[in-house]
Structure 1
Amino acid sequence: MTTENSAERSVGQIKIVAHDAVTLLQIDRVEKHNALTAAFWGDLRRVLDELCVDQRTRAIVLTGAGDKAFCAGGDIAGFATLTTLESKRAYQIDAMNGFAALETCPLPVIAAVNGLALGGGCELTLACDVVLASDHAVFGMPEAALGLVPGYGVLRGPHVIGRQMTKLMVMSGERLDAQQALQAGLVQRVVPHEQLLPTALELAHRVASNPSLALAVGKGLINRGIDRAEFDYSVEALTVLQASAETSERVQSFIDRKRR
């Protein structure tokens, strides 16, 4: 692994560190377990667009800051600020477009899951091409407790971990540890926590050594069966759920518990 010509910058809550042909994207909001603000999705698309045209980046590693969380999902407190049906729908569209940008990015994207990957964090791993996990990692889609479902996870989960495992995780909030995630097919390799990032960067450099056109074409062919038309249905279903009285009550209850 090489780390020459390293450079660091940030776009919103995304820290960007260049390692020659590999770019590390770090979700950097440690105090909130790297929970995602509404602005994250637009920032992610913008960063991916930049990396795709900069002619230097040939592979991406996505990880979380700190030792506890890859990403704890969407910032629940932010949901309470979405007061109209239009704002709720706009948020869902923005998030789905963010997942789609990661999924369809011509650059290979390797997730290095360093802790909790819950809700939108777990869904981000479903959008990546390869997932490496620390032996401390935990995966879950607990949105049902708030009266919601993971809009992207219900679409991609069946392709990655199967329909029944997706149902178990979505309906019960069942969490998978790193080894269970490996057995389910959500994770491709589990490594000791302290070796996670070096292993992910090493793999990314190995991937980046291959011709970029071959990587982009191969990724596109593997993903060719993915139906983007499903996104519209998911957006409308999530908008209706988010606008329901029960969901509003559960979201507010969650926020109140966190404030105590």
Structure 2
Amino acid sequence: MALGGGMELAVFCDMVIASEKSKFGQPEIKVGVYPSMVVAWLSKIIGLKKAYEMILSGDTISAKEAEQIGLINMAVPDAELEEKSEEFIKKITNNSAVVLKWAKKAVKSGLNVDFETGLKNSEVIYKYALMATYDAKEGIDAFINKREPVWKDK
């Protein structure tokens, strides 16, 4: 069960993989308060109507529903949790760490701004930060020459 603070951890993580047996909820309303941190972010992840529903009802949802509404990335059978988590992590960590860093910054630079500003922010990061890295050049060269890139994380 990821309730209250446990669900807040899931909300503020970049990515979440959970057992299908997991439940998620913000039950604070049932004791006369609301989750003060989560209210500022939850609607950006799952949408306003679902955020209202979870916060105002205090009900819990299944891991499958959490996956469907975008609260978590993946709900997997309990027996496969470790294996599926490692596979998921490997898909990401097989990429260049420095490129991952700049991609993440670019995604975040588009939050809470209009499309035009987000695009400009991304262009600046791409042109002046990402393209200044060895790994961006290596990745493009590897693609052109039909070979696997050799990342140096710089």
- Report the TM-score, using the length of structure 2 for normalisation: 0.67
User: Which residue number corresponds to residue 187 of structure 1?
Assistant: 72
CA deviations 1:20-79 (Å, max 9, x no partner) are xxxxxxxxxxxxxxxxxxxxxxxxxxxxxxxxxxxxxxxxxxxxxxxxxxxxxxxxxxxx
For 2:45 and 2:92, the matched residues in 1 are separated by 21
Q: Which has the higher strand share?
A: 1
User: Which residue number corresponds to residue 20 of structure 2?
Assistant: 135
Greater than 4 Å deviation, 4+ residue runs: none
Displacement, 1:226?
Answer: 5.1
SS at match of 2:50: helix
User: Which residue number corresponds to residue 217 of structure 1?
Assistant: 102
Displacement, 1:166?
Answer: 0.6
Aligned length in residues: 112
Structure 2: where are the runs of 5+ without partners? 114-154
Do residues 164 (structure 1) and 49 (structure 2) align? yes
| Counterpart residue identity of residue 161, structure 1 | I
Task: Supply the RMSD in Å over aligned alpha carbons.
Answer: 1.6
Q: 1:226 to 1:213 in 2, by over 3 A?
A: farther
For 2:37 and 2:84, the matched residues in 1 are separated by 28
CA deviations 1:134-161 (Å, max 9, x no partner) are 1101000111122221122111111111
**Which has more radius of gyration?**
2
| Counterpart residue identity of residue 37, structure 2 | Y
Q: Which has the higher helix share?
A: 2
For 1:216 and 1:128, the matched residues in 2 are separated by 15
- Report the TM-score, using the length of structure 1 for normalisation: 0.41
Structure 1: where are the runs of 5+ without partners? 1-115, 228-260
